[in-house]
Chains A and B, each alone.
Chain A
Amino acid sequence: MEQRTNGMTRREMLKAAGAAAAAVPLAGADVLAAVAATAAATHFFTPAQLAMVDELSEIIIPADDHSGGARAAKVAAYIDYRLAESVDDEPRTKWTEGLARIDALSREKKGAPFMQLSADDRVAIVTAMAAEESSPTTVEGKFFGELKDRTSDAYYSSKIGLHDDLEYKGNVLQEEYSGTDVSNS
């Protein structure tokens, strides 16, 4: 099995990086600019941030006996894409600041940045963030809501979320409609 880094396999990361590089020799400055623009529009997180979001999303929705989790559903890459293409800076700022706050919180509570903590300590950090979920006031408390919303949206609209986890049965052609006919009741 291929070793995972940053939630993407190493091969996927190389592929993503290589896609831009491969296009360069074909033309001049215009293509370079276009590639740069495309790259800017599809990725926002640094590799370190992407790895952190991947880990956080998997803590929110982990793999279990029933189905894969947020990591398998590539939730972090989807969040990255949506943030990158946003015309608003505000959601990006929210994530940059939120992730920085998690690292600060990790240092305060556990003495090291989030990704250097043990699995149990990472969960403990997220547990602390979630403590005031119903009416958050702190930066980390508010960011927990954002993290959970985006993770949930991305996961439950993914193949793994819809089919494996929720076992959604619809979006099919039916001759006879499902349910109970109440014409005579």
Chain B
Amino acid sequence: MRLLHTQQAHEPQVDLLKTYDAVIVGSGAAGGMAAYALTERGLDVLLIEAGKKIDTTQVLHSMEWPYDHPRRGDMPSKFHALSRNEYNIRQPPYANGLGKYEKVFSYVQGWGGSDYSTSIVVNEKEHPYTGTNYAWVRARCLGGKTNIWGRLALRLSDYDFKGKSHDGYGMDWPISYADIEPYYDKVDLLLGISGVKENLPQLPDGKFQRPYKLNAAEVQLRTGLKKMGRTATPYRAGVTTDGLVHNKYRSKCYGRGACSRHVGGCDIHAAFDSPTGLIYPARDTGKLTIRTNATAHEVQVDPATGKAKGVGFVDTVTGKSYSVKGRTVILAASTLESARLMLLSKSSSHPNGIGNSTSGLVGHHFCEHLMGPHVTGLVKDLVGKPHTLDDGRPGGFYVPRFRNLTDKQPDFIRGYGFEGEGGMSMGPGNGAGEAGFGKAWKQHVRDYAGAYISMGGFGEVLPRYENSVSIDPVVKDKWGIPVLRFDYNFGENEKKMAEDMAVAGREMFEAAGIEVVSVGKNLLTQGWSIHELGTARMGSDPKTSVLNQYQQSHDVKNLFVVDGSSHVNASCQNPTWTIMALAWRSCEHLADALGRGEL
């Protein structure tokens, strides 16, 4: 079976003397989409990425059995993954005092199959940060976190874009769902998305390819929730299940399921990743130059005009400094790295950092999704039944938000959704936690292995001014670049919401006739969802926002920030699809404006 065509074209080298139409910093979902959208419009684009190019087709080993790996997929012991407890008892920089390990990674490397992703995620020793506790997961390589993302591809709705109009908190986005809907559709069709249409106002449907199926435990939950007016829909995955005739780099999904067993990644690229979905197609236009191992540290400014003129970077390997020039500069380095770059880019024109003069809000209104509360249940009818193939999917199901839509909760505003899955996976599951040993225990594990179902909440953290990042005055990273300092905590709304998640999770399982085995109530460390957002929010007023509706700096009109920094609030839906839809919309505006000579 031929799943992939991986032959790659000749790649042009970066030209330091040339002025590109656009210099993009970062190659994840946002940077990849910017490269795709701008080259499609014929612009001459330079993409710089701090990490190296990784051939994930080769490194991920998606179908390797655990017993064919010397450590059953685990990393070597000289590599350390931070544990949940370490985030509680230590303070950033988390690698301090862990000198006996060659590399220290975030908690995701504590998951199964972590040996396949060590080249994708960053070594905390080289990338310190300071301040309050935050589990910051970063991937520095071509494609960034899209190489291992969770693939849940959800749309936001006007409950999110017009949140303030709905409940009075925060600020409405400068766009509504109608503005972004055509771009969600374009993203769906370009990249492929799997799902079932549910006609829910809080979770708009997309242009779905064939859906994943639910296993027996999940069907039981869906049936039970329907009676409550709630929904458990098959995992809406940014995965092409029918294939994409216009993309030669990506196979359709064959339901192998390794994406949910490993830290992440798909070696046939059925799951979206930025390199095969966006960057290689952009490169094939002949209009894209890619410079990897380029760690940006400054947006450079023309002192005469105050406009951005390019980007300063150090070569990640040699440490040598370079500058590249662009008519426009597009930051897409991630919510936190783009904010860091803006704050680092101080000049006489922009003494508080580029794009931060009028509002002073860069780094503020930092928000994300809280995690922690979860419920595990047992479907008794499945105990002792022959095991079925239940896990050949990127995920199980999603329960969309149901709080504060038509109702008004007394203790908190906004809402949360649940992600979960049931059935048999590659291992004994919860059954192995049963007390005992010997033949009876072994029989118990076998009988109960496929009979459990569990789900965990993802809730909106409110965008508060005081939740922020700034530049640490002392600590620098391996390349001598000052690092971020976190000042970020959950508030009362998050705590009340988390309490409700645990209660509602139990209620839903009970309503579906699922015996509740355990309920987790504690919040996980800030950052756990890897959905950081909001550090350079959009708005129509330059005094209360950093960017306009096209993610264009109010202060510096040829500077755009097209990643999650621009989101006005976190909503409770996973952000990747919205990041790409917004970036596409903004880049079309950029191309039009550049064509008109406005930038």
List residues of chain B with CB within 8 A of the CB of A179.
212-215, 218, 390, 393
Q: A64 at the A/B interface (Cβ < 8 Å)?
A: yes
Which of B101, B210, B222 lies in contact with A87, CB distance below 8 A?
B101
Q: B70 at the A/B interface (Cβ < 8 Å)?
A: yes
Q: A138 at the A/B interface (Cβ < 8 Å)?
A: no
Which of A85, A177, A181 lies in contact with B77, CB distance below 8 A?
A85
Q: B491 at the A/B interface (Cβ < 8 Å)?
A: no
Q: A134 at the A/B interface (Cβ < 8 Å)?
A: yes
Q: B443 at the A/B interface (Cβ < 8 Å)?
A: yes
Q: A82-B71, A157-B72, A171-B426 are in contact. Are A183 and B196 (CB under 8 A)?
A: yes
List residues of chain B with CB within 8 A of the CB of A60.
437-438, 441
Q: A162 at the A/B interface (Cβ < 8 Å)?
A: yes
Which of A133, A166, A173, A182 lies in contact with B255, CB distance below 8 A?
A173
Q: A61-B442, A167-B386, A180-B213 are in contact. Are A152 and B432 (CB under 8 A)?
A: yes
List residues of chain B with CB within 8 A of the CB of A85.
71, 76-77
Give the CA-CA distance A6 to B297 in the complex, in Å.
59
Q: Are A159 and B67 in contact (CB under 8 A)?
A: yes
Give the CA-CA distance A46 to B63 in the complex, in Å.
35
Whole-angstrom distance between the Cβ of A133 and the nearest chain B Cβ: 5
Which of A64, A69, A168 lies in contact with B443, CB distance below 8 A?
A64
List residues of chain A with CB within 8 A of the CB of B257.
170-171
List residues of chain A with CB within 8 A of the CB of B66.
157-158, 162
Q: Are A181 and B211 in contact (CB under 8 A)?
A: yes
Interface string of B229-272 (1 = CB under 8 A from A): 00001100000010000000000001111100000000000000
Give the CA-CA distance A113 to B257 in the complex, in Å.
46
Whole-angstrom distance between the Cβ of A82 and the nearest chain B Cβ: 7
Q: Are A166 and B428 in contact (CB under 8 A)?
A: yes
Specify the main secondary structure of chain A where it touches its partner: loop
Q: Are B196 and A182 in contact (CB under 8 A)?
A: yes
Whole-angstrom distance between the Cβ of B397 and the nearest chain A Cβ: 9
Q: Are A148 and B258 in contact (CB under 8 A)?
A: no
Q: Are A170 and B438 in contact (CB under 8 A)?
A: no
Interface centre among A62, A130, A165, A170 (most CB of B within 10 A): A170
List residues of chain A with CB within 8 A of the CB of B210.
177
List residues of chain B with CB within 8 A of the CB of A123.
438
Q: A115 at the A/B interface (Cβ < 8 Å)?
A: no
Give the CA-CA distance A154 to B70 in the complex, in Å.
11
Nearest-neighbor residue (CB-CB) of A174 within chain B? B255
Q: B413 at the A/B interface (Cβ < 8 Å)?
A: no
Give the CA-CA distance A181 to B208 in the complex, in Å.
14
Chain A to chain B: the 5 pairs with minimum beta-carbon distance, closest first: A179-B213, A174-B255, A169-B389, A157-B66, A178-B389
* 20 chain-A/chain-B pairs, Cβ below 8 angstroms: A59-B437, A60-B437, A69-B442, A86-B77, A87-B78, A126-B437, A154-B72, A162-B426, A166-B424, A166-B428, A166-B446, A168-B387, A174-B389, A178-B213, A178-B255, A178-B389, A178-B390, A179-B390, A182-B214, A183-B197
Residues of chain B touching chain A, judged by Cβ–Cβ distance below 8 Å, are: 1, 63, 65-67, 70-73, 76-78, 100-101, 196-197, 210-216, 218-219, 222, 233-234, 241, 254-258, 386-393, 424-428, 432, 435-439, 441-443, 445-446, 449
